[in-house]
Amino acid sequence: MRTAIFAAGILLAAGTSHAEDLTIERLVGSPSLDGPRVAGLKLAPDGSRVTFLKGKDRDFRILDLWEYHIASGETRMLVDSDDILGGEEEELSEVEKARRERQRIRSSGIVEYHYSKDGKRLLFPLGGDLYVLEIGADEAKRLTETDAFETDAKFSPKGNYVSFIRDQNLFVVDVETGTEIQLSSEGGDTILIGMAEFVAQEEMGRDTGYWWAPDESRIAFTRVDESPVKLVNRYELSGDGGVTTIEQRYPFAGTPNVTVDLGVVTLEDQKTQWIDLGDEEDIYLARVNWLPDSRHVAFQRESRDQKQLDLVFADLESCTNRTVLTERAETWLNLHNNLRFLKNSDRFIWSSEKSGYRHLYLYDLSGKELAPLTAGDWVVSGIKQVDEKGGKLYFTGFHETPIESHLYSVSLTPDPKSLTRLTVEKGSHNVSVSRDASVFVDNYSAPKVPPRAALKKIDGTLITWIEENPLDGDHPYAPYLDKHVEPEFGTLKAEDGTILHYSLMKPADFDAKKTYPAVVNVYGGPGVQRVRNSWSIDFDQILARNGYVVFKLDNRGSTNRGKAFEDVIYHNMGSAEVSDQVTGAAFLASLEYVDADRIGVYGWSYGGYMTIELLSKASEIFKAGMSVAPVTDWRLYDTHYTERFLGMPDEGDAYEISSVFPYIEGIKPNSLRLVHGMADDNVFFDNAVKLMSHLQEKGVPFELMTYPGKRHGISGQATRKHLWTDTLDFFDRKLSAD
């Protein structure tokens, strides 16, 4: 459950000229009202160009590969996906469909690409095969041409090979000669070689199962045996009345996980050396890295209860392991991707929440902490670059405010006074720093600034725009600006005094003398932050244009506020989150322009769960709610996510307390609208079925909308149009003044 999915997608109809004409038909689909959009921004290793993915005619569904050449200032398309696909629709394998679902990839065409180390080649998958483009060449070179689907392709560190997974086995191909080497043959059925298992992809933030040694002599890889995981039949009901039975191994909370082994295979003779992961088999292999010497493999071993994380160095020559450091927590440990080995010294950088907030620390290879690099009551989000020559570390974080992310630098020679903010514009910044740390690409937005991309010097000085996207008269959203609603930001205090951040949108034609219905857009779960100082055009804008006050609150349990802020949900989901959302609703009700008798709520995934909880526990406040794809019984969700917060199902009453079922009699008749995709492979449709059954047993009437063939994201232009039209109609009916 990585994120909630709320984006409505966007469509601009030709000839539209009035703000009041912004309807759901124009909000869902494409092209984008945000203006020209780019994704996958990357700086070439040699600093000569910025490459990115861009949709056709603002259509972000089919992506092509583009470049901005820095010296000439020219922008050009490098690869047109249609030229390779011949205009035919791309057919994905079931493995790739599942992989993209885990990564929340909704587009097609060229959806990912990679640079070789020297920056002279680009690698991308398309149509199930792999292609390499020499920078300056007119056409891409096809590396594979098989009926199988090649996935998780990577350049080797020196660029001589491309590695990939085919039929659950690991392969490499020589880029120059095209010669393939099959490095494993055991993969198939329940054995996955070099592939990340379901929970690694969905919950652990690990999308791969293999890692190149820096000298490209060998590859570390996982061997995953799925046979211990329960095999369930998932029924995908399609719109034409067909029923497809999908066999899926799903690790329900409290049930066995996969077994994982870690091996290292050499390219020269394809021999495998297995690494000892420890005596305890019921663990998670959280992360794998190589030390710069290509002799040591570093792996992170997480206990099943997620209260202990070991960083272990495996010496491949002596076949010995050494635990370098161990993190422990009373509740749970959050995983991260902030391990960096310094190439020119015997030190490494590690991040930890041991202070209560995620910060960066310097260690030597023995595991001795040398010094903290950052500190304070704020959160570091991720390392962007390490400049050993310049003695600086570049990272993103939330130093000034939890609702804005920025790029910072700090000295590698520990000095708290060296902390420098490099992105000056207010808003949310997503950056990519060049290898030599001389420039960075800044992809950012703010409530008054649609997404834009700039190339900047490392001190933050603008070099040039890659996509300025000015909100002027030519912008596709310009016809609607006179009724565009910007959020207002503020803070409230939770019942324990904790500061909570919120955003509030007033109706487009706001009149302080009138009263309006209000809708709370909720997520509320761990690992997600909803209140951000950023641009957004989504269904909330439609609600505001139709006379609703729209409110969002990041309750306790959500992210980027420190560990204590998150820990309140431990063994007690649906308690502090509900209390905080009720506090937010009480604030709404206190506003003179809000009709306290007409407050609704909607949410997706964890937000769907929260919607049911709020309707059950605070029905005197929330008069109606739409719950999309909710978890209703946490025993029906996966091991890594659920056990992190609730422990094992047989350890106490946490699962019963956190389930929706003890409280659903509090739902008022016909105040709930339940929505679920009938092919959801993340939050199974079983959750909705069980809720329906219990509501019927309790005699609680409710509304229902199911979407045949749709997974957790309920994607598709026509489907989204139907969903949001239905949602608006629901709130119009339930929150009307009549």
DSSP 484-517: --PPEEEEEE-TTS-EEEEEEE--TT--TTS-EE
Cβ atoms of 196 and 208 closer than 8 Å = yes
Query: What is the rounded distance in angstroms from the CA atom of residue 729 to the CA atom of residue 472?
Result: 33
Residue 105: φ, ψ to 5°? -90, 120
As a whole number of angstroms, the distance between CA 337 and CA 340 comes to: 9
Rounded to whole angstroms, the Cα distance separating 412 from 361 reads 10
List, in sequence order, every beta strand (DSSP E) within 514-568: 516-522, 549-554
| Displacement of CA 456 from its chain's centroid (Å) | 26
Whole-number Å distance between alpha carbons of 406 and 381: 10
Give the whole-angstrom CA distance, residue 125 versus residue 99: 13
Distance from C-alpha of 133 to C-alpha of 131, rounded to nearest angstrom: 7
How far is 708 from 476, CA to CA, in rounded Å? 33
- Helices 576-590 & 606-617 angle (0-180, nearest 10): 70
Q: Which of 534, 428, 542 is nearest to 485 (CA)?
A: 542
Tokens of 697: 């047993």
157 in Cβ contact with 191 (< 8 Å): no
Taking Cα atoms as reference points, which of 450, 479, 508 lies closest to residue 21?
479
Question: Is 14 exposed, middle or buried, given 0-12, 13-18 or 19+ CB atoms closer than 10 A?
Answer: exposed
* 392-397 and 406-411 strand pairing: antiparallel
| Catalytic residue set | 605, 680, 712
Pairing of strands 703-707, 672-677: parallel
Q: Please give the Cα distance from 443 to 382 (Å, whole number).
A: 16
All residues at 6 or more sequence positions from 611 whose CB lies less than 8 Å from its CB, including other chains: 522, 601, 602, 603, 625, 626, 627, 630, 672
Amino acid letter for position 534: S
- What's at 418, amino acid-wise? S
Beta-carbon neighbour count of residue 689 at 10 Å? 13
Q: What is the DSSP letter of 406?
A: E
- In whole angstroms, what is the distance from residue 465 CA to residue 463 CA? 7
Asked whether 394 and 387 are in contact (CB, 8 A), the reply is: yes
Please name which of 106, 140, 102, 107 lies closest in space to residue 121, comparing C-alpha atoms: 140
